[in-house]
Amino acid sequence: MVYQYNYPTTILYGPGAVAELGRRLANTPDRRYLLVTDAGVVKAGLADRVAQSLGEAGLELELFAEVHPNPIEEDVEKGVAAFRRIGGAGLIALGGGSPMDVAKAIAVLATHEGPLSRFDDGKGGDKNITRPMPPVYAIPTTAGTGSEVGRSGVIITRDTGAKTVIFHPSLMPRVAVLDPELTVGLPASLTAATGFDAFTHGLEAYFAKGFHPMADAVAMGCMELVVDALPRAVARGDDLEARGRMLLAASMGATAFQKGLGMIHSLAHPLSTHYHVHHGLANALLMPAALSWQLEEKADAFTDDLRDRYQRVVRLFRGREKARPGDLPEAVTAFRSRIGLTETLPSRGLKQEDIPKLAREAYGDPCHSLNPIPVTEADLAAVYQRCL
């Protein structure tokens, strides 16, 4: 096998990183940028703060905040129109995953003929991305998805009405700006849920099939950071050091999952679609059941390597002496409670009669294909069943 490993994103990290981005961009002749964000970020006052900081550095910004939580093609078209109007040199995406998805899609449609469905990665649309695109600079306001280091965007395209993945190596943001001053205002419950998503990326990437020691090391580093920093960020929102560590953990989790994810993400996606459970919370509420189901029902499928990996993750919580692979579900449950994620899936809508439909959708989701132990639709149903 010949493997390709990609770790190329430039990251600016630390309090004041936004101002540093402004100084760097102001050193170039063209200083006009479209600031792509959404109503929530504007309401939280973060768009103003970032615009002020970048403006003081000498950039000329046009604010574009018409991004839906699940972005649609029209958001992208409006963004392209605004970008052309100002003759922008690039895009600055500020927010969670949605503004970053839209900024990347604006870069595509600003330089390529639409519609967006032409670029559907599921249909080989990456081949239609052929021209140089304006750069995207990504500033996350939550620490979880890690979209700031990703090469894809998800938009609901007009002609199919479906969530469509656009993927291309050149969609990766030019710089990811991890500035903890932007995440201090995030409420504790969102801090915990988004942070748990980062942890799940680390855990699933670490366990995923495939030979990728670099991703393994980054995944382990991600989990170490989360176990140390997330309880502190939840307990004290203004702990800048903990906030910064969580931003790094989120970028590291998403960097590591180029190796792959696993069954927990496949199980989580339908819960967000049908019950509107926050993605990170869905991962948190599923993880112990998914781990214990594998340990108990698929014990024969565990290789020595996978057992070692479980044990190494337990060590992050319990230290070297007390770490046994079978303790992982309990260790995760204790951590989950420590950060205040104490709900159950039935309290968020999970019902017995929904399980066949959810399991069918989870099985149709591609993430589980790299789960270290192969799973069937019935297996996925069995994990939902454990959560009742």
Q: Which is nearer to Fe ion, 73 or 197 (CB)?
A: 197
SS3 state at 110: coil
- Residues 6 or more apart in contact with residue 130 via CB below 8 angstroms: 112
Select from 192-200, 203-211, 315-323, 371-379 the region that touches Fe ion (CB under 5 A).
Answer: 192-200
Nearer to Fe ion, 118 or 201 (CB): 201
Asked if residue 115 has a cis previous peptide bond (ω within 30° of 0), the answer is yes
With CB under 5 A as the contact rule, which of the stretches 110-118, 189-197, 202-210, 300-308 interacts with Fe ion?
189-197
- Kind of pairing, strands 90-95 and 32-36? parallel
Specify the residue, 38 or 197, whose C-beta has the smaller distance to Fe ion: 197
CA 332 – CA 291 distance, rounded (Å): 9
146: left (phi over 0), alpha (psi -120 to 50) or beta: left
Q: What is the DSSP letter of 253?
A: H
Q: Among 8-16, 134-142, 197-205, 335-343, which window interacts with Fe ion (CB under 5 A)? A: 197-205
Q: How far apart are CA 50 and CA 45, in angstroms?
A: 9
- Candidates 133, 139, 113; CA nearest to 37 is 139
Q: Pairing between strand 10-13 and 175-178?
A: parallel
Question: Which residue's Cβ lies closest to Fe ion?
Answer: 197
Query: Does 148 help bind Fe ion (rule: CB under 5 A)?
Result: no
Least separation in angstroms between CB 226 and Fe ion: 13
Residue 120 engages Fe ion in binding (rule: CB under 5 A):
no
Considering beta carbons, is residue 119 or 257 the nearer one to Fe ion? 257
Q: Toward Fe ion, which CB reaches closer, 145 or 333? A: 145
Applying CB under 5 A, which of residues 73, 148, 197, 327 lies at the interface with Fe ion? 197
DSSP class of 118: G
Eight-class DSSP state of 5: -
Nearer to Fe ion, 181 or 197 (CB): 197
Q: How far is the CB of 255 from Fe ion (least distance, A)?
A: 13
Is residue 38 close enough to count as binding Fe ion by CB under 5 A?
no
58 vs 69 by CB, closer to Fe ion: 69
Closest by CA to 219, choosing from 250, 252, 192, 261, is 252
Q: Which amino acid is at 252?
A: M
- Give me 257's structure tokens: 């999952």
Report, in Å, the least distance between residue 269 CB and Fe ion: 9
Q: How far is the CB of 304 from Fe ion (least distance, A)?
A: 28
Binding range to Fe ion, per CB under 5 A, among 193-201, 225-233, 305-313, 369-377: 193-201
Residue 324 beta carbon to Fe ion: minimum distance, rounded to whole angstroms: 27
Residues contributing to the site for Fe ion (CB under 5 A): 197
